[in-house]
C-alpha cells in the first residue's frame, strides 16, 4: 500500500470484478442502442476505459473535463468546464461515467447541461458513491461501491493531482495534506 494511505478499500481484483458486473447490467439496459459514453476527466479515466472493454454492445466514447476541487479536499461548489464534448449530444442516449459522487455538484451540473442540449436520455454510472457528502439532490443510476466519509484516492482519483495511478482505491491519510 502507498505510505500516504490509511487503508485500502477495494483491491485491483475487487474493482475488476465489480466493473464486469456493472458492464453486464449496462449492456443489458442499452441492448440495441448505441450510447454515447461520456467519461468525466480526469478522475474517471481508469473506470471509463475498463468499463468500455467489458461492454458487449456498440458504444461511442467522448470525454468532458470538468473540475471543482482543484488542489483542496473540499468542493469549491463551482463546476468549471475545461473541455467540452466533441460530439453533438442532441438525440443521443448519454451515459455519464464518473469515478465518485460526493456533494453531487458535478453531476447535477452535467445532467442539467446535457439534458438542456436535448439528449434523448441521460444516465449516470459512478464507480463510487459517498452518500454522507451529498449537498444536492442527485443519485447515479448505477453505482459500484459505497464509500465512507473520508477522502478517497486511487484508480484515477486524486488528491492534488497525486495517487491517480494507484491500481487500487483507498483512504488518503490527511497527515499528508499539503500545507500552504
Catalytic residues: 102
- Using CB under 5 A as the binding rule, whether residue 98 contacts Mg ion is answered as no
Alpha carbons 178 and 16: distance in angstroms, whole number: 31
Alpha carbons 36 and 167: distance in angstroms, whole number: 26
Candidates 23-31, 61-69, 88-96, 165-173; binding stretch for ligand PRP (CB under 6 A): 61-69
- Using CB under 6 A as the binding rule, whether residue 153 contacts ligand PRP is answered as no
Q: Which three cell numbers stand for residue 17?
A: 470484478
| 86-115: contacts with ligand HPA (CB under 6 A) | 100, 102
- Using CB under 6 A as the binding rule, whether residue 27 contacts ligand PRP is answered as no
CB of 109 to ligand HPA, least distance (A): 13
CB of 47 to ligand PRP, least distance (A): 10
Candidates 28-36, 49-57, 84-92, 101-109; binding stretch for ligand PRP (CB under 6 A): 101-109
- Residue 149 · residue 168 · CB < 8 Å: no
The site that binds ligand PRP (CB under 6 A) totals a number of residues, namely: 18
Q: Which three cell numbers stand for residue 102?
A: 460526493
* Residues lying near ligand HPA in the complex (CB under 6 A): 69, 100, 102, 151-153, 157
Residues that bind ligand PRP (CB under 6 A): 40-43, 67-69, 75, 98-106, 158
Amino acid at each position: 500500500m502507498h505510505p500516504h494511505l490509511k487503508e485500502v478499500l477495494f483491491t485491483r481484483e475487487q474493482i475488476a470484478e465489480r466493473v464486469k458486473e456493472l458492464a453486464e447490467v449496462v449492456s443489458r439496459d442499452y441492448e440495441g442502442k448505441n450510447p454515447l459514453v461520456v467519461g468525466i476527466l480526469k478522475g474517471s479515466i481508469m473506470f471509463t476505459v475498463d468499463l468500455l472493454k467489458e461492454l458487449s454492445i456498440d458504444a461511442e466514447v467522448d470525454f468532458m473535463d470538468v473540475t471543482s476541487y482543484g488542489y483542496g479536499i473540499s468542493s469549491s461548489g463551482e463546476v468549471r468546464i475545461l473541455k467540452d464534448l466533441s460530439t453533438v449530444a442532441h438525440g443521443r442516449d448519454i451515459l455519464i461515467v464518473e469515478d465518485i459522487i460526493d456533494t453531487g455538484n458535478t453531476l447535477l451540473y452535467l445532467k442539467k447541461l446535457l439534458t438542456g442540449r436535448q439528449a434523448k436520455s441521460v444516465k449516470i454510472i459512478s464507480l463510487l458513491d459517498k452518500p454522507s457528502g451529498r449537498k444536492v439532490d442527485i443519485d447515479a443510476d448505477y453505482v459500484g461501491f459505497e464509500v465512507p466519509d473520508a477522502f478517497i484516492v486511487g484508480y484515477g482519483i486524486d488528491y492534488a493531482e497525486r495517487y491517480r495511478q494507484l491500481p487500487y482505491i483507498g483512504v488518503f491519510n490527511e497527515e499528508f495534506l499539503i500545507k500552504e
